[in-house]
């Protein structure tokens, strides 16, 4: 448990550090290198368009990241008829209350010390549990993080291609880039800044693919009307049309959530209708 609590603190700091490094490399290294002659740069040049795209992806990723943290499951747990204060924690810890006693898939997280409705999993990179209140923001966070990493990967490859006068037309060139770069770095033929960018290329690739795969897996569960917690516990869910499952998570203003970071109001609207 101590290791998990430490990971719950280190992982968000690691993510913010990677985000800061990516932003600095893009703004002060990759994008300026795309300007050949700033005095004759057209209004809609590739460099400006790439910069605008990166800022859009980064703003959405960071905005949804903040909303995932702010949308605390604890706020939702206060509305459940589970007791008050320490009584809730004590009852859940000693097992006197079953997870489904109040609402389906209600779960108490020992790391957060919070009650979550439609609990999916605990995300260490946000230090928060993912449930009905912040599921949409979490999916948008994974989507835009993946796109920002892949965008940085393409920009970094273009920078390395120009700096080292090499081509990535051959797919094996990227796979053999790291071992060749390490040998050149220790022989003094490669600058430390270039070696750092090469290491970041593989990090962006790993994070981008991981977030994309996780986002696709999460969308598949949503279409089925399931959560990872339900699948892990073997809970049976009531079959519903996939459109209703999507609307429950993304709400009616789903298109707005694709463009700008907004709170998930879909479950709140549904709760008001039920009342």
- Residues 6+ away with beta carbon under 8 Å from 75: 133
* 8 Å CB contact between 47 and 34: yes
List 109, 123, 211, 215, catalytic entry: 123
How many CB atoms within 10 Å of residue 1? Answer: 7
Burial label for 232, CB within 10 Å (0-12, 13-18, 19+), is exposed
Q: Are 262 and 155 in contact (CB under 8 A)?
A: no
123 counts as catalytic: yes
Residue 73 tokens, joined: 């499951």
CB 114 within 8 A of CB 120: no
Q: In 40-51, which positions are buried (b, 16+ CB within 10 angstroms) versus exposed (e)? A: eeeeeeebeebb
Q: Looking at the annotation, which residues are catalytic?
A: 123
């Amino acid at each position: 448990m101590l290791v998990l609590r430490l990971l719950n603190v280190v992982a968000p700091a690691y993510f913010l550090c990677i985000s800061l490094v990516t932003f600095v490399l893009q703004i002060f290294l990759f994008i300026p290198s795309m300007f050949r002659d700033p005095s004759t740069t057209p209004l809609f040049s590739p460099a400006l368009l790439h910069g605008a795209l990166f800022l859009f992806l980064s703003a959405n990723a960071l905005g949804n990241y903040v909303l995932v943290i702010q949308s605390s499951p604890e706020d939702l747990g206060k509305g459940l008829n589970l007791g008050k204060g320490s009584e809730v924690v004590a009852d859940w810890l000693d097992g006197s209350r079953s997870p489904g006693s109040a609402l389906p898939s209600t779960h108490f997280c020992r790391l957060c010390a919070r009650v979550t409705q439609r609990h999916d999993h605990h995300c260490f990179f946000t230090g928060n549990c993912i449930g009905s209140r912040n599921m949409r923001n979490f999916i948008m966070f994974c989507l835009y993080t993946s796109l920002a990493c892949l965008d940085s990967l393409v920009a970094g490859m273009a920078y390395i291609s120009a700096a080292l006068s090499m081509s990535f037309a051959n797919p094996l060139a990227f796979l053999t880039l790291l071992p060749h770069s390490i040998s050149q770095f220790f022989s003094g033929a490669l600058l430390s800044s270039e070696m750092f960018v090469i290491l970041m290329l593989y990090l962006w690739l790993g994070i981008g693919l991981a977030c994309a795969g996780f986002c696709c897996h999460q969308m598949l569960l949503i279409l089925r009307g399931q959560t990872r917690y339900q699948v892990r516990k073997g809970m049976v869910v009531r079959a519903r049309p996939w459109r209703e499952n999507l609307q429950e998570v993304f709400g009616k203003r789903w298109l707005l959530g694709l463009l700008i970071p907004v709170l998930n109001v879909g479950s709140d609207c549904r709760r008001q209708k039920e009342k």
